Chains A and B, each alone.
Chain A
Amino acid sequence: LAKTTQPISMDSYEGQEVNITCSHNNIATNDYITWYQQFPSQGPRFIIQGYKTKVTNEVASLFIPADRKSSTLSLPRVSLSDTAVYYCLVAPLTGGGNKLTFGTGTQLKVEL
């Protein structure tokens, strides 16, 4: 299993860029990297997904180095509403099985 390791928590101020790194040394060839955001007592929400290099959408960027053993979620100019838990999930597109278990995530706290 491609076990993932993330920081337990991070603090930031509004307007700053936040980078959250996830380590996944045992990532398999057919695994994709997906990031989710979760607010208290709500279900997780998809943020971004990638396989290699860089992916960008309207809310975040995902940087994946060539060896794919880590990935970095970049949130530009965070606001108070970005305070949440962020999960890195490494699993194939189908048949993920136990790889679909999310880790404990990174608690991001954004302050004024």
Chain B
Amino acid sequence: DSGVTQTPKHLITATGQRVTLRCSPRSGDLSVYWYQQSLDQGLQFLIQYYNGEERAKGNILERFSAQQFPDLHSELNLSSLELGDSALYFCASSPNSPGDNEQFFGPGTRLTVL
């Protein structure tokens, strides 16, 4: 158990819909990262937040957005869903203090878009 929690575990929805994925980082970790992993693909970095502020952005689609709240939990919002958005979405956290960027990954949310 990494200490990172993600809800829900599974999500099945239809094209055009909007969903919200939730992540709670390890206690004390200030950074939260979101990744997308499609079938047989590597992990694609989406976005990173540090202490409530956006720190880095990857190839995140405009239909996707995220935020980190004052209690440090984070949400990833996916809208106008397409079939190709079906994937595993992982959240990771790290202390992100100097010299310590080891990421701890959550169990993931499996999104299926029908």
Binding site for B on A (CB under 8 A): 32, 34, 36, 41-46, 49, 87, 91, 93-98, 100-105
Contacts and interface: CB of A to CB of B under 8 A. Distances in A.
Interface in B16-60: 33, 35, 40-45, 48, 55-59
A97 B58 CA distance: 6
Interface string B74-96: 00000000000000101010001
Contacts of B57: 97
Interface of B: 2, 4, 33, 35, 40-45, 48, 55-59, 88, 90, 92, 96, 98-108, 110
Contact of A96 (B56, B88, B99): B56
Contacts of A34: 101-102
A102 B96 contact: no
18 contacts: A41-B88, A42-B105, A43-B4, A44-B90, A45-B2, A46-B103, A91-B101, A93-B99, A93-B100, A94-B55, A94-B98, A96-B56, A97-B56, A97-B58, A98-B56, A100-B45, A104-B42, A105-B42
B104 A46 contact: yes
Contact of A101 (B44, B92, B102): B44
Contact of A42 (B33, B41, B101, B107): B107
B102 A100 contact: no
Nearest to A87: B42
Contacts of B2: 43, 45
B88 A98 contact: no
A103 B35 CA distance: 12
A91 to B, nearest CB: 8
A46 B99 CA distance: 15
A41 B10 CA distance: 11
B41 to A, nearest CB: 7
A49 B107 contact: no
A49 B99 CA distance: 11
